Chains A and B, each alone.
Chain A
Amino acid sequence: MYKYTIKRIFLMIPTLIGAAILVFGLLRLIPGDVCALRMAGEGSFVDETAIEQCRINLGITRPIWEQFLSFVWGFATFDLGDSMWTSRAITEEIGLRFELSLQIAVMATLVSIIISIPMGTISAIKQNTWIDYIVRTFSIAGIALPSFWLGILIILGLLISTQAWLGEAWMPPIEYVDPWKDPLGNLSQLIWPALATGYRYSAVATRMTRSALLEVLREDYVRTARAKGLLEKVIINRHALKNAMLPVVTVIGIEFAFLMGGLVVTEQVFNLNGLGKLFVESVTNHDYSLTQALVMLVAFIFVVTNFVVDIFYAWLDPRIRYS
């Protein structure tokens, strides 16, 4: 297990280097520059020398190789630099949003686990019955509905229904409510995006749980367990479900990593100041330094999540750790 862990850690390094080269190169291929956009973007008069000065101050007039070297050096020394748009430290920009994104990711994952594992299990046990059909319809609908669209529907539904029932339209807060200061306010804000994303996320996990469990339930050792006269509950919980969890854990891990930086549209729909929204802003603003840092952060989260999943795999399946 120790050797296995070390090997996985070393495999993370080339992945991150590859991501760094790719993001730096791709960003420079997109036409446009942050200064023209920032100073002339609204069509009002701007002195051209001011735009040029902005470029010089940000260092985007330097040769590409020089910019690349300073990016790599900064990354290696954990100095991510300043945002080209706001001049604030990137660590500060990310730090401000990390808590919110993490909270939504955790809440959506919980929603997903709470829905998907029992439903997937029931669906597999009651295969081809009306319960199975309902669960499958529910999960297919979850995959088909984009979470941001569901989010819009949720907000509109809240506005219309509260106006009809209470006389005044209500919608979730549009600025972040600190969970330590106002837990109820925080819940009233974040439960909706967590439900919107958690539902889609659970749909994938439900289908995965169902198919994995169906496969396991046909295995010889399950038949043996039944022949031994074990209770069905014990067979499912102790023998089948644990083994069926391998692909489900993978899906949950990947989705969790995705939620940390990928809630691009959902965060905008609910006006959440998270990493996804920051990502969109940095790309549309041509804020190279911030985009590079965010891509590297997401790549890091994916790599670490994959690492954790691999370790979890090894824990679940002794064959992996012994091989």
Chain B
Amino acid sequence: MMKFRALLVAIAGLGAALATSATITASAQETPARGGVLSFVVGSKIPSYDGHRETTFGMIHPIRPFYSTLLRVNPNNPQSPTDIICDLCEGKPVTTNGGKTITFKIKSNVLFHDGTPLTSADVKATLDKIMFPPEGIPSSRKAWYTQVASVDAPNATTLHVQLKRPLSAMIPALASPFNFTYSKKDLDEHGYNWHKKNINGTGAFKFVQHQPGAFVEGARFDKFHVKGLPYLDGYKAISAPKMSVRLQAIRGNRAAIEFRGFPPKARDDLVKALGKKIKVQESNWNCLMGATPNQKLKRFQDKRVRQALTLAFDRWGGSRYLSKIALVKTVGGVTFPGHPLEGSKRWLQSLNGYAKDVRASRARAKKLLQDAGHPNLKVTLWNRAVDQPYKVVGTWYIDQWRKIGAKADQKVLPSGPWYAGLRKTRDFDVAVDFNCQTVINPTIDVSKWIKGAGNNYSNHTDQKVTDLYLDMLNEADSKKQYQKLRAYEKYILSDQVHYMTSFWWYKINPHRSYVKGWKIAPSHYLNQSLDQVWLDPKLQ
């Protein structure tokens, strides 16, 4: 079985490699044109410019092009969930000391926009701020780096990251698009809050202006550390919170692209209206949609009730229809589809609620509810007042639960009260819940369900989840880690149903055909440095 799976993986890998080389060949035939200003629309707001404390794409899309990171996903192959390359370093990171030391050779030709040369001391100061922030300085992803013992910069071009124990998740964690590299001089002179309102990076573009609520403007940095890049003269990131405006902006050519994603209907409308002037890129999205039963409430403490709720879902059928109207598509487990750590489709179908025979599943669900003493279970879905995909998918959940005799309805709330219910009052029945991450890093991404995790809203007190998780996380052997991830997945999704997955989100980016060099990544946070993007004058 494993051999067959390995063969499938090899074939898929070969296919992907061929597809990638085909793409590279196709783009190699075109000579990128220099010049032009890329206008794009952003549907969220900028809280501050400091990547280390922020978590929103509203900041990443307009601000990321001003900065470089130590590592990044390969902009020529962003679809690969494992292709991570150097940005400020050279070659590949070297792991020694039994996997406990990662050494990076830092580029020596990098300049900050203020003219200061970058050295490993700047990278160290940055990583220290992210991993070991002083009291009073928020660092949103600090917990990813709890296994880092220290960061050392023995000379100007060498950087060591010392780990407490070997951790395969560290390289993707270091490639977070939020890990903007700051100048040590700025941190020393201005303090750790300076970057909230000021920008001095080493990215392909330098800051020109920001009109809050309106736009951010960047201009080409001529001394960018990658020769010949960027192609654009500059860019303008225009704030447009309403989706209809973003859509019309592309149609009316006020913007060339929106990097987060549109629902299928919007894509179809644009293609219908503009034909060849629109190009569409699509991808699985590193956001998992699901539902969380609240185990603070007695009726959801019975695992038979939770199992019944997950057994009600016709995931395979739902995917066919919902993918036409919502930005969801792929049925999957807890691991991003296509990642080497993902469970096979056959494995998935062995879990409660993933079998193709929906009738049998629902008959089992009814029996479970009967046995649990809740033949007409009352369940109110705690949903978020955002159309895509929450309201659409939430309505589908209700329909599915009604099919097993549950009296299901939903309460739709604005984001603030919705989060307050999840995090503060914790008085919902079952909540629409999602897990949206940046760099694909399954062993960290699945930490959402461990007991006491800040974004675990199930209120379970099951220590076994944490034990299974840590066992998997600390496993150095990739084959064993794969098996341990399956045990963790089965326990959460099928045995205990601490979470019910439905679909992975599906990213659809229609854009003006003249935008070239940008490749869709499996996350709206990734591949946003814009250094490879160019505008085709023949199509403008």
Measured CB to CB, the residues of A under 8 A from B are: 30-33, 36-51, 53-54, 56-57, 85-88, 92-93, 96-97, 152, 155-156, 158-159, 163, 168-171, 173-176, 268-271, 273, 277-278, 281, 284-286
Contact = CB atoms under 8 A, between A and B. Distances in A.
A45 B444 contact: yes
B415 A32 contact: yes
A129 to B, nearest CB: 42
Contacts of B240: 174, 271
A271 B136 contact: no
A87 B420 contact: no
Interface in B436-493: 436-438, 444-445, 447-448, 454-455
Contacts of B115: none
Contacts of B242: 268-269, 271
Contacts of B211: 96, 175-176, 273
B143 A175 contact: no
B415 A41 contact: yes
Interface stretch (B14-22, B52-60, B341-349, B375-383): B52-60
B214 A87 contact: no
Contacts of B138: 39, 47, 49-51, 53-54, 57
20 contacts: A37-B416, A39-B138, A39-B140, A40-B419, A40-B423, A41-B419, A46-B55, A46-B141, A47-B142, A85-B45, A87-B196, A88-B212, A158-B252, A163-B273, A169-B274, A171-B248, A171-B249, A268-B241, A268-B245, A273-B211
A47 B139 contact: yes
Nearest to B139: A50
A87 B416 contact: no
A31 B426 CA distance: 12
B212 A86 contact: yes
B424 A42 contact: no
B46 interface: yes
A40 B454 contact: yes
A36 B423 contact: yes
B436 A43 contact: yes
Contacts of B248: 155-156, 159, 171
A174 B454 contact: no
A264 to B, nearest CB: 12
Contact of A273 (B54, B136, B239, B249): B239
Contacts of B214: 96, 175-176, 273
What are the 9 closest A-B residue pairs judged by CB atoms, nearest first? A32-B416, A171-B252, A31-B420, A43-B436, A50-B138, A48-B454, A32-B420, A53-B138, A31-B417
Range, interface on chain B: 35 or more
B230 to A, nearest CB: 22
Given A43-B435, A50-B142, A152-B244, A174 B213 contact: no
Contacts of A47: 138-143, 454
Given A47-B454, A271-B249, A281-B213, 7 more contacts: A31-B420, A38-B47, A44-B525, A51-B454, A57-B138, A87-B197, A175-B214
Nearest to A270: B245
A171 B250 CA distance: 10
A165 to B, nearest CB: 14
A281 B139 contact: no
B136 A53 contact: yes
Interface in B397-427: 414-421, 423-425
Contacts of B425: 31
Nearest to A278: B213
A169 B252 contact: yes
A171 B445 CA distance: 42
Interface string B231-268: 00000101111101100110111110000000000000
Contacts of B132: none
Contacts of A38: 47, 54-56
**A48, A51, A169: which has the most chain B beta carbons within 10 Å?**
A169
**A32, A53, A88: which has the most chain B beta carbons within 10 Å?**
A32
A169 B278 CA distance: 13
B8 interface: no
Nearest to B53: A50
Nearest to B274: A169
A44 B212 contact: no
A238 B428 CA distance: 66
B238 A174 contact: yes
A37 B339 CA distance: 30
Contacts of A46: 55, 140-141, 454-455
A135 B374 CA distance: 63
Contacts of A281: 45, 213, 241
Contacts of B48: 86-87
Nearest to A162: B252
A96 B455 contact: no
A159 B252 CA distance: 7
Contact of A43 (B137, B253, B417, B455): B455
B455 A286 contact: no
A50 B53 CA distance: 8
B151 interface: no
B144 interface: yes
A286 B416 contact: yes
B520 interface: no
B287 interface: yes
Given A46-B141, A47-B141, A159 B251 contact: yes
A46 B447 CA distance: 11
A88 to B, nearest CB: 6
A53 B244 CA distance: 36
Contacts of B525: 44
Interface in B519-540: 525
Contacts of B205: none
